[in-house]
Amino acid sequence: MPSADEDPSVAKASVCTDVEAARKPLARLRCLRNSIDCLTKNETLPSALCYVPAEVTYTVTRNDMIVVYSTAAKDRSVLSEIISSTGHQVVVSGEELYTSEGQWARLLKVCLCYG
């Protein structure tokens, strides 16, 4: 009878040499477990899930028009129309805004970057 090393039908366990790659799934599982525990105990969610960045930078990948409105409300007015190209970056707040019109972002600045 052949041993497990010689038997091709026996699946061999692979050894993970990348420690960081092995830690990521474990960290996700721990975070999920902590979140479920918090929801079960009616506590606040872990602080790692409650992070909202102050600003988010988007790099323009095609030539397009960015319309800037005064507010996200229905009675808004157009403040400006910015013609963007691939050299622009748009910086918006990290806070997500939703209305019946859709998703909005609070514009902080538009900068032209060469390079």
For residue 98, give every residue at least 6 positions away whose Cβ sits within 8 Å of its Cβ, in sequence order, or none.
Answer: 104
The CA-based dihedral angle spanning residues 32, 38, 44, 46, taken in that order and rounded to the nearest 10 degrees: -30
Structural domain including 35 reads 19-49
pTM for this structure?
A: 0.50
Q: What is the DSSP letter of 66?
A: E
| 2 inside domain | no
Burial of 31 (0-12, 13-18, 19+ CB in 10 A): middle
Does 70 lie in the same domain as 29?
no
The total domain count for the chain is 2
Does 71 lie in the same domain as 30?
no
Alpha helices in 41-100 (DSSP H): none
Does 64 lie in the same domain as 90?
yes
pLDDT tens figures, 47-99: 777 777 788 888 888 888 888 888 877 788 888 888 888 878 888 888 878 88
- End-to-end distance of the chain based on CA atoms, in angstroms? 66
Does 106 lie in the same domain as 56?
yes
**pLDDT at position 25, please?**
86
Question: How far, in Å, CA of 31 to CA of 8, rounded?
Answer: 38
**pLDDT at position 12, please?**
59
Does 105 lie in the same domain as 66?
yes
Last residue within a domain, chosen from 49, 69, 87: 49
